[in-house]
Amino acid sequence: MTIDMSQFFQVFFEEADELLAEMEKLLLAIDVAAPDSDDLNAIFRAAHSIKGGSGTFGLNDLTDITHVLESLLELIRKGEMALTLEHVDAFLAAKDALKMQLDGHRFQAPVDLEAVANVRMMLHALSQNVITPSGKPLNEEVFVRLPEKAPEAHPIYARAFRISLPPVTSRDVEALCAELGLLGHIEYVSASDVSAVFLLATNESVDDIVAICSFIIDADDLTITEETLESLSDKSMQIVSKTQGQIEDEQGYGLFEPIEINQTVVDADAEATAEQVLVAAEKKSAKSAEKSHHSNETSSIRVGIEKVDQLINLVGELVITQAMIEQRTESLDPMLHERLLNSVGQLTRNTRDLQEAVMSIRMMPMDYVFSRFPRMVRDLATKLGKKVDFVTQGAATELDKGLIERIIDPLTHLVRNSVDHGIETPDARSAAGKMETGRLLLSAGHQGGNIVIEVTDDGGGLNRERILAKARENGLAVSDTMSDGEVWQLIFAPGFSTAEKVTDISGRGVGMDVVKSNITAMGGVVDIRSGKGFGTTISISLPLTLAILDGMSIRVGEEVYILPLGYVIESLQPVAADIKEISGQGSVVKVRSEYLPLMPMHQIFNITPRFTNPCDGILVILESEGKKAALLIDELVGQQQVVVKNLESNYRKVAGVSGATILGDGGVSLIIDVAALLRSSQQVVDSVVLN
């Protein structure tokens, strides 16, 4: 039976991306002086898994470089070579090369073959520096592979299986040996034109064995029979002699012959070694059991994002329908229709729970974003001759997938700025009485219905005088009496930069207007706190999702609008003495000694209101990007959670409107773009002196 393996390519690409990301994360965190064996094994397994998958799908360029990478990792994890920073750099370069090759196969992106060849040569050269115990050259060395437990007993395994396969290549045999070995103790018995046979002692099930083998062959071609543990022979200690020609074969230039287990190694320290290996095997078994248990608890499936979006849309329609039912039952007599009203109440609770559960499916941890920065910070710091300790907090905090992908570019810009222009060089930090190593913190956490992401460095901070001077040079209206917060906001002006020289990395302020506009487009707010000589914190506040909104329903004339609740500060009914007219600029209202622009809602949308006098209507105080204004409306309807619909894709873009929703009565209500309204407001209060 033949299987079309192309249907699994997408799964392989996604898993390979995850493995490469995990490899990079482990390499950046590894202690070169005393590397953790578990970390080394995890890095090796990632390379080995990519090698096995790429071999299965015929991606020989990936197989080639992963084999050399795997060989070098094998020497290090077995203690035959000490890990160095040079190795870490080479492994990171290999990760980049593999990612480039993957993107080449996946997206037909260009691949720098010369760079890939250089990485392969570097890995191969590093692997030749091994000093073997006997002092013999690598191509003459006899490698001894010790058993994972004492050969005469199997006290840590519950069962044994004989696994018979159809004829497979020796490369597949090697891959299966390694993968099945993760389940327990594996013995490769023989290979012939009929089949290949393994004996496996394990605590796992037949399904686990099938899951591994079916990655290479059809599960229907497998024959698995249960054996007694005593059937495992003493052929656990093997000698594999490799010539240089065989090594080249394994590196992708051909197929090597299957290993035959036909010798037993007798060593003077065999008893001691067996005891040590048994202890190691017991530890490995306990760790495998813990990993298996954890895996069962966090099992997941892959679902296309389009299916998730469809589910969210359907639940959104259900929420709207439930709101309609609830509104229509409000006029019913609670005594006569008690059971119906109780059922509607239960429906409301269930719908709310279902909505929250479905929305959580689109949520992704911030680690998806944070994980790409350690490597970037490391490379930038090295290039700039700086020492930077990069720390992340709140990586498990979740954000909507749509937002998390759009926040990557702004955060990348902010992190690069902090490394380039925030944190000083070691000499400058020492002269300022600081530690030579700067600290860069990237954190995320929930705050109400928002997520707050902060980029904090302990560098030199923003220079108030330089920013004001540059603002005057650019023709911006500034004064020496401006607060620090107002001065820091100046760096978001288009084209604003205080950098003394242009670099190929970043400039504090260069492109910051794009950062702010991108965040504002997501319904977010940017804030800056800085102290000269102490560092800078840039804080980004975003809604958790754009699909559902907590809103305030307001009425103007016969129309109902939705104000995003995050922008609403308070509502009030002013007295005539607090309203003042500014010639040619509209009106302002005094709210606790602060004068705010007054924006009549009916004028903005050209509708007929019930009230034109602010003293008769209601003022809703709104705030966005540090600016406040008072919106004149007829009445407050209530607070509710609404499902956001894209108005632009269903109708067209409307100024001052960010979306729409369907109300309980079936009517359509527009969602006000508060940030755009405040930006477009023509009232100028600061330029007018009021007594």
pLDDT at 54 over 60: yes
Same domain? For 406 and 325 the reply is no
Q: Between these two residues, 77 and 196, which has the higher pLDDT value?
A: 77
pLDDT of residue 162: 87
CATH of the domain at 227: 3.30.70.400
Q: At residue 22, does pLDDT exceed 70?
A: yes
Question: Residue 298 — very low, low, confident or very high, per pLDDT cuts 50/70/90?
Answer: very low
For residues 590 and 688, give the distance between their C-alpha atoms in angstroms, rounded to a whole number. 14
In the listed set 543, 566, 585, which residue is the last one of a domain according to the structure?
A: 543
Same domain? For 374 and 517 the reply is yes
Give the pLDDT confidence score for residue 236 in this predicted structure.
37
Q: Is 93 exposed, middle or buried (0-12, 13-18, 19+ CB in 10 A)?
A: middle
Return the pLDDT at 246. Answer: 37
Q: What is the pLDDT of residue 151?
A: 39
pLDDT category, 192, cuts 50, 70, 90? low
pLDDT on residue 137 = 38
pLDDT for 427-473, tens place per residue? 999 999 999 999 999 999 988 668 999 999 999 999 999 999 988 98
Do 334 and 410 lie in one domain? The reply is no
One-character DSSP codes across 278-330:
HHHHHHHHHHHHHHHHHHHHT------HHHHHHHHHHHHHHHHHHHHHHHHTT
In CATH, what number is assigned to the domain containing residue 626?
A: 2.40.50.180
What pLDDT is attached to residue 307?
Answer: 86
379 has a pLDDT exceeding 50? yes
- What distance, in Å, lies between the first and last C-alpha atoms of the chain? 90
Which residue has tokens 């720098």? 112
Nearest to 34 by CA among 72, 90, 76, 92: 76
| Least reliable range by pLDDT among 166-175, 303-312, 412-421 | 166-175
Q: Would the pLDDT of 369 be above 70?
A: yes
* Least confident residue range of 178-192, 240-254, 469-483, 588-602: 240-254
- Nearest-CA neighbor of 594 among 616, 609, 578, 582? 578
Higher pLDDT, 549 or 265: 549
Pick from 349, 345, 352, 341: which is nearest to 315 by CA? 352
pLDDT at 674 over 90: no
Rounded Cα distance between 62 and 19, Å, is: 14
- Residues 156, 201: one domain? yes
SS3 647: helix
Predicted confidence band of residue 180 (pLDDT cuts 50, 70, 90): confident
Residue 382 φ/ψ, nearest 5 degrees: -65, -45
CA angle 227, 230, 234 (to 5 degrees): 120
User: Does pLDDT of 277 surpass 80?
Assistant: no
Domain residues for the domain of 382 are: 365-543
Q: Contact at 8 Å (CB) between 565 and 620?
A: no
Lowest mean pLDDT among 282-286, 306-310, 576-580: 282-286
> How far is Cα 612 from Cα 222, in angstroms, rounded to an integer?
82
Averaged pLDDT, 286-301? 50
Amino acid at 31: D
Same domain as 124, residue 15: yes
Of 124-138, 157-171, 316-330, least confident by mean pLDDT is 124-138
Same-domain check for residues 585 and 520: no
Q: Look up residue 596 and give its two tokens.
A: 């705010």
Verify that 211 and 335 share a domain, yes or no.
no
What pLDDT score was predicted for residue 80? 86
pLDDT value at position 555?
A: 94
Confidence of residue 193 (pLDDT cuts 50, 70, 90): low
Predicted local confidence at residue 565, as pLDDT? 86
Region of poorest pLDDT, from 146-150, 435-439, 617-621: 146-150
Q: Is residue 687 part of a domain?
A: no
Residue 75 has pLDDT above 60, yes or no: yes
Cα(286)–Cα(290) distance, rounded to whole angstroms?
A: 6
Tell me if 502 sits within 8 A of 476, measured CB to CB.
no
Distance separating alpha carbons of residues 605 and 175, to the nearest angstrom:
68
Rg of the chain over CA atoms, in angstroms?
33
The answer to whether residues 414 and 524 belong to one domain is yes
Please indicate, yes or no, if residue 515 is contained in any of the structural domains: yes
Confidence of residue 359 (pLDDT cuts 50, 70, 90): confident
In a domain, 23, yes or no: yes
Domain boundary among 347, 362, 377: 362
Number of Cβ atoms within 10 Å of the Cβ of 584: 7
- Give the model's pLDDT for residue 23: 92
Quote the Cα angle for 676-678-680, to 5°. Answer: 65
DSSP label at residue 645: B
Q: What is the chain's mean pLDDT, rounded?
A: 78
> Which of 543, 576, 595 marks a domain boundary?
543
More confident position, 10 or 237: 10
- Do 199 and 317 lie in a common domain? no
Write the CB contacts of 210 (distance below 8 Å, at least 6 apart in sequence). Answer: 219, 222, 224
Interatomic CA distance for residues 414 and 422, integer angstroms: 10
What pLDDT band is residue 498 in, cutting at 50, 70 and 90? low
Q: What percent of the chain has pLDDT over 90?
A: 31
CATH number of the domain that 69 lies in? Answer: 1.20.120.160
Q: How many CB atoms lie within 10 A of CB 542?
A: 22
Q: Are residues 165 and 57 part of one domain?
A: no
Q: Has residue 266 got a pLDDT over 80?
A: no
Share of the chain above pLDDT 70, in %: 79
Q: Residue 87 pLDDT more than 90? A: yes
**Which letter does DSSP use for residue 644 in this model?**
-
Residues 237 and 379 placed together within one structural domain of the fold = no
439, amino acid identity: R
- Per-residue pLDDT band at 55 (split at 50, 70, 90): confident
Number of domains in the chain: 5
Report the pLDDT value the prediction gives residue 504, as an integer from 0 to 100.
53
- Verify that 255 and 357 share a domain, yes or no: no
pLDDT, greater one: 626 or 471:
471
So what's the pLDDT on residue 684?
43
Tell me whether residue 686 is in a domain. no
Min mean pLDDT across 112-116, 203-207, 464-468 is at: 203-207
Q: Is 204 helix (H, G, I), strand (E, B) or coil?
A: coil
Give the pLDDT mean for 417-429: 93
Give the pLDDT mean for 342-370: 89
